[in-house]
Amino acid sequence: MKGGLILVSSFILVFHAAWGCPEICICQPSSRTVDCSYRGLVEIPTQLPPETQVLYLQGNQIRTINHTAFTDINGLKILDLSNNSISTLSPYAFQVHRSLQILNLTNNFIHYLESQLFTSLPDLKELDLSFNSIFNLPESLANNSRNLTFLGVKHNQLQRIDRSLLDSFTNLKILLVKVNPWQCDCPVMDLKLWLENFLYKGGIIDEMVCTGPENRNGKDLLKIPFEMYKDCPPVTAQFLLAKIHHHNSEHRTTGKHGHHGDHADGGSHSDCEPKPKPRPVSLRHAIATVVITGVVCGIVCLMMLAAAVYGCAYAAIMAKYHRELKEVEHLAPVAEHGSPEEKEPLDSSLA
């Protein structure tokens, strides 16, 4: 029995050595997966197999990701670094991982993201930064984000998201943003338009609850009517109305869903003028109005069709009635006076 265990152990050690697997991790060459999760690691293990495509490092005590952490594995596709103590990420930590598709950094101590951090990830599809202390998303995330379908930033310290950054997420399907200190003051109106357009196109979002200003604290930005922003500076209010007009015109001319890229910020607002009472506008309200209008128009059309059918039937009946009446009137004198042949014998007898 002992000899068998020794033989198996020796085989495992030889196998790990042949594939270059760290002893503390579990490697599966068939799926090119390395599992180093919940091993009490304080740093990225060295000598990872260069063929690795899936690397699990969650549930450890890793604090820093430097630029050489994953240089030996260029084909990495899935990287899970959740539930660690990461507070520092080198701006070039993922520089060689152009094939990376899923990156999980949830539940760490990240406060700041370097601008170069995501510039070399053109294939990134899912990025989860939830449960950190991030104050701002780097603008460079927009450079290689066309394939991004999932973005999680809930439970952070974000107060705003730049509209131009969101416009770059052309394939985004899910956006998780709840539990952040969102500021719902006047500049947020452009973001509100983007979010409503995102929902209109079938996107999924949890909720964006405001923490400021005080009169909007605790309210979901998506449920705040635009009329509540009528006291904003004239420049901002007029800019909002211009965006709404452009959005509605686009729907009327194309008959398709709005494209959020068409609403990107592209100029100064200083030439705008205020409008006295901007009406509350909501894509959901507009859709409901279109549906109700369509139903009413349909009912009116049916009533008009019924009236036309009734009119045609009535005209046909009246025409037939008049035709028969004329025939009766034409025959009546003949029946009353009789024909000349019938009168002749009577006259002869009297003679």
Is residue 155 in a domain? Answer: yes
Is residue 131 in a domain? Answer: yes
**pLDDT interval class at 228 (50, 70, 90):** confident
In tens, the pLDDT along 187-212 reads 888 899 999 999 999 999 999 999 99
At residue 159, does pLDDT exceed 60?
yes
The count of domains in the chain is 2
Is residue 350 in a domain? Answer: no
Query: Around 300, how many Cα atoms within 13 Å sit in the side-chain half-sphere?
Result: 6
pLDDT of 240 reads 54
Is residue 351 in a domain? Answer: no
At residue 329, does pLDDT exceed 60?
yes
In tens, the pLDDT along 278-313 reads 444 556 667 778 888 888 888 988 888 888 888 888
320 Cβ contact list (under 8 Å, min separation 6): none
Q: Is the CB of residue 125 less than 8 Å from the CB of residue 149?
A: yes
Q: Note the residue count of the chain.
A: 351
DSSP string, 238-304: HHHHHHHHHHHHHHHHH-SPPPGGGG---S-STT----SSPPP--HHHHHHHHHHHHHHHHHHHHHH
Same domain membership, residue 221 and residue 138: yes
In tens, the pLDDT along 19-49 reads 579 999 999 999 999 999 999 999 999 889 9
Same domain membership, residue 308 and residue 280: no
Angle ∠(186,189,193) on CA atoms, nearest 5: 180
Same domain membership, residue 183 and residue 111: yes
For residue 346, give Cα distances in angstroms to 334, 338, 342, 351: 17, 12, 8, 9
Q: What is the pTM of this model?
A: 0.64
pLDDT over 70 percentage in the chain: 73
pLDDT of 337 reads 53
At residue 255, does pLDDT exceed 90?
no
- Which of 232, 247, 169, 175 lies closest to 208, judged by CA? 175
Q: What token pair was written down for 255?
A: 């008959």
Domain boundary among 257, 284, 311: 284
Average pLDDT over residues 153-161: 95
Rounded Cα gap, residues 121 and 253, in angstroms: 37
- Domain span holding position 321: 285-340
Same domain membership, residue 120 and residue 265: yes
The DSSP output letter for 202 is: T
Is residue 346 in a domain? Answer: no
Average pLDDT over residues 158-183: 94
- For CA atoms 256, 261, 265, 267, the dihedral sign is negative
Same domain membership, residue 164 and residue 79: yes
